[in-house]
């Protein structure tokens, strides 16, 4: 054996390269290495047990339980642990044989009665760094140096949780949308109270918070990433006398997911500043045109003009209808202040976003670093597009880094000379155009223009119909490899 293999650090580097991810095949490789020789055993076992999904691998070390877990043939809907006696003191030692090696633990099943012999607050995973589980196990699995925790639900276990995990940096708490409203109110009160104890958070993902907790988070210098999931139809109420202007100095990522009632979040945005913000995402089941305009305005006023790089706003429920004569949404003028913008993705299933040649040209000249621009209008609400081929290619000349574009276009007339010397845009790779007219007048001419001006585009994607099939076929005949077209009823992100 080479002398280099006697150095533990060298072995760990080699084994980590052999098994970069935890899959069944890599686990078999690590198990084989552990059996090869004494020198290989410890480092291979450390990597083999680094990440564990469920308690079954640990319970499988108990001689009595091993055949039940791995050789019983019990179907998935018949829990193997039903009726099984708890661990004895001797079996608890077998269960804990490898617990000190585990760094990441994910538990998606519950067998708490099996572990009743283990004392409360025993901290049986002393080197654990990342934890995902239901709160029933909290008292057993909380080392003081835990950095990441993903909890499925909120209960009284949170009281000891935040005081024990003094090094907690990443906290994710998920509350299912089907919880009873009364239960949600109680849990939100407990959650807000406990978060006040978390003073080192870097990343927080949780349900809606009350205003006092928002104020606490604004004074937390370590907080960089914040994600709020509404998860219910009854958000916390805001009293006007409690609302004060807040400044979140260091937050770089702000995400709002699965919102039923966006008015609460819009109020928060209207009274908050995020001078370091780089990423903003707002995902609502439905947002009215009035609320949408308020959101655009609030975002433009949050002091992130020099930092914001990514904006994603989505309203995806098509069941909500707005009057046919409603004014189109105008987000682009609000976002022109974000000179560092690299990605703008807007999806409104029940509204239309106004965009014309002049506005597109102004946007591209204001966003020189833009890489992705996707504006997904509702097919049923979109009037005739104001963007022509000339307007499209003129704007493309101002954004050399753009690689993804999705907008509506009007090809009723072709307003550029197909035989003119093309100005090629070499970075654009993904092009999705939604026609505002039912057919393309001259598919072959359009294909020749795209072939000459956009050398890296091999097809035009259109989520709402077959209008671009002929164009893509002509692109293929010109030498561009095309992807087979699959018709879809509607586009989904």
pLDDT at residue 270 greater than cutoff 90: yes
Within 10 Å of residue 236's Cβ, how many Cβ atoms?
18
Percent of the chain with pLDDT over 70: 77
Residue 114 to residue 472: CA distance in whole angstroms: 61
Over residues 43-52, the pLDDT tens digits come to 888 888 888 8
Q: Please report the pLDDT score of residue 28 as a whole number.
A: 83
Residue 184 to residue 232: CA distance in whole angstroms: 8
Residue 256 lies in a domain: no
pLDDT band at 436 (very low <50, low <70, confident <90, very high): low
Is the separation of the CB atoms in 434 and 409 below 8 Å? yes
Q: Please report the pLDDT score of residue 187 as a whole number.
A: 62
Tokens of 106: 């994910």
Residue 490 lies in a domain: yes
Q: Please report the pLDDT score of residue 438 as a whole number.
A: 57
Residue 57 lies in a domain: no
pLDDT at residue 135 greater than cutoff 70: no
pLDDT at residue 75 greater than cutoff 60: no
Minimum mean pLDDT range among 125-129, 161-165, 294-298, 306-310:
161-165
Residue 427 lies in a domain: yes
pLDDT band at 4 (very low <50, low <70, confident <90, very high): confident
Q: Please report the pLDDT score of residue 202 as a whole number.
A: 94
Of the two residues 216 and 379, the one the predictor is more confident about is: 216
Over residues 166-218, the pLDDT tens digits come to 678 888 887 655 444 445 556 666 777 778 778 889 999 988 888 888 998 99
pLDDT band at 157 (very low <50, low <70, confident <90, very high): low
Over residues 224-244, the pLDDT tens digits come to 999 998 755 555 566 666 778
Q: Please report the pLDDT score of residue 235 as a whole number.
A: 58
pLDDT at residue 486 greater than cutoff 50: no
Could you give the 3-state DSSP secondary structure of residue 332? helix
Residue 452 lies in a domain: yes
pLDDT band at 318 (very low <50, low <70, confident <90, very high): low
Minimum mean pLDDT range among 243-257, 293-307, 415-429:
415-429
Concatenated DSSP letters for 54-113? SSHHHHTTSTTTHHHHHSS---TTS-TTTTPPPP-HHHHHHHTTTGGG-SEEE--S--GG
| pLDDT averaged over every residue in the chain | 81
Closest CA to 268 of 313, 289, 290, 299: 299
Count structural domains, the chain. 1
Of the two residues 259 and 297, the one the predictor is more confident about is: 297
Q: Please report the pLDDT score of residue 301 as a whole number.
A: 96
pLDDT band at 55 (very low <50, low <70, confident <90, very high): confident
Stretch 434-441: mean pLDDT, rounded?
A: 68
pLDDT band at 298 (very low <50, low <70, confident <90, very high): very high
pLDDT band at 21 (very low <50, low <70, confident <90, very high): low
Taking CB atoms within 8 Å and a gap of at least 24, the contacts of 153-161 are: 153/187, 154/187, 154/188, 154/190, 154/191, 154/207, 155/187, 155/190, 156/190, 158/190, 158/191, 158/194, 159/190, 159/194, 160/121, 161/135, 161/194
Residues 6+ apart with CB under 8 A from 186: none
Residues 6+ apart with CB under 8 A from 323: none
Residue 176 lies in a domain: no
* Range among 11-20, 229-238, 350-359 rated most confident: 350-359
Residue 223 lies in a domain: no
Q: Please report the pLDDT score of residue 226 as a whole number.
A: 97
pLDDT at residue 488 greater than cutoff 60: no
Q: Please report the pLDDT score of residue 335 as a whole number.
A: 98
Residue 353 lies in a domain: no
Residue 308 to residue 335: CA distance in whole angstroms: 10
Q: Please report the pLDDT score of residue 44 as a whole number.
A: 85
pLDDT band at 276 (very low <50, low <70, confident <90, very high): very high
Stretch 270-294: mean pLDDT, rounded?
A: 94
* Range among 26-30, 185-189, 355-359, 378-382 rated most confident: 355-359
Is the separation of the CB atoms in 185 and 162 below 8 Å? no
Residue 429 to residue 186: CA distance in whole angstroms: 50
Boundaries of domain holding 465 = 360-493
């Amino acid at each position: 054996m080479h002398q280099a293999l006697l150095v533990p650090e060298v072995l760990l580097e080699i084994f980590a390269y052999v098994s970069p991810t935890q899959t069944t095949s890599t686990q078999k490789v690590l198990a084989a290495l552990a059996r090869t020789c004494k020198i290989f055993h410890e480092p291979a076992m450390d990597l083999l047990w680094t990440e564990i999904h469920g308690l079954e691998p640990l319970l499988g070390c108990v001689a009595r339980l091993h055949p039940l877990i791995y050789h019983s043939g019990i179907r998935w809907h018949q829990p193997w642990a039903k009726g099984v006696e708890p661990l004895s003191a001797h079996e608890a030692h077998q269960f804990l044989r490898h617990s000190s090696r585990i760094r990441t633990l994910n538990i998606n099943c519950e067998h708490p009665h099996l572990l009743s012999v283990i004392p409360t607050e025993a901290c049986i995973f002393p080197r654990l760094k990342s934890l995902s589980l239901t709160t029933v196990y909290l008292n057993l699995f909380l080392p003081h140096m835990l950095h990441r925790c993903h909890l499925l639900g909120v209960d009284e276990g949170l009281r000891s949780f935040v005081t024990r995990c003094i090094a907690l940096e990443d906290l994710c708490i998920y509350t299912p949308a089907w919880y009873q409203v009364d239960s949600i109110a109680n849990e939100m009160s407990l959650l807000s109270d406990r978060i006040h104890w978390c003073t080192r958070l870097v990343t927080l993902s949780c349900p809606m918070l009350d205003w006092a907790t928002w104020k606490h988070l604004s004074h937390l210098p370590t907080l960089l990433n914040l994600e709020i999931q509404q998860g219910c139809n009854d958000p916390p109420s805001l009293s006007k006398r409690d609302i004060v202007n807040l400044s979140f100095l260091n937050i770089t990522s702000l995400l709002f997911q699965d919102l039923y009632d966006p008015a609460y979040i819009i109020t928060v945005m209207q009274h908050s500043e995020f001078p370091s913000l780089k990423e903003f995402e707002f995902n609502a089941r439905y947002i009215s045109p009035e609320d949408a305009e308020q959101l655009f305005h609030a975002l433009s006023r949050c002091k992130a003009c020099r930092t914001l790089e990514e904006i994603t706003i989505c309203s995806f429920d098509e069941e909500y209808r707005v009057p046919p004569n409603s004014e189109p949404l105008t987000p682009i003028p609000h976002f022109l202040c974000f000179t560092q913008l690299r990605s703008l993705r807007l999806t409104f299933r029940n509204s239309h976003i106004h965009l014309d040649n002049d506005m597109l040209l102004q946007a591209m000249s204001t966003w020189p670093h833009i890489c992705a621009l996707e504006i997904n209008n509702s097919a049923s609400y979109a009037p005739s597009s104001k963007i022509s081929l000339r307007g499209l290619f003129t704007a493309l000349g101002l954004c050399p880094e753009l690689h993804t574009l999705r907008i509506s276009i009007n090809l009723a007339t072709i307003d550029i000379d197909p035989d003119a010397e093309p100005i090629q845009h070499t970075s654009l790779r993904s092009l999705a155009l939604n026609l505002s007219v039912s057919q393309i007048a001259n598919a072959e001419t359009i294909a020749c223009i795209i072939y000459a001006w956009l050398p890296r585009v091999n097809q035009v994607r259109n989520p709402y119909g077959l209008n671009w099939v002929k164009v893509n076929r002509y692109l293929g005949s010109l030498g561009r490899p095309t992807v087979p077209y699959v018709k879809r009823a509607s586009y989904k992100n």
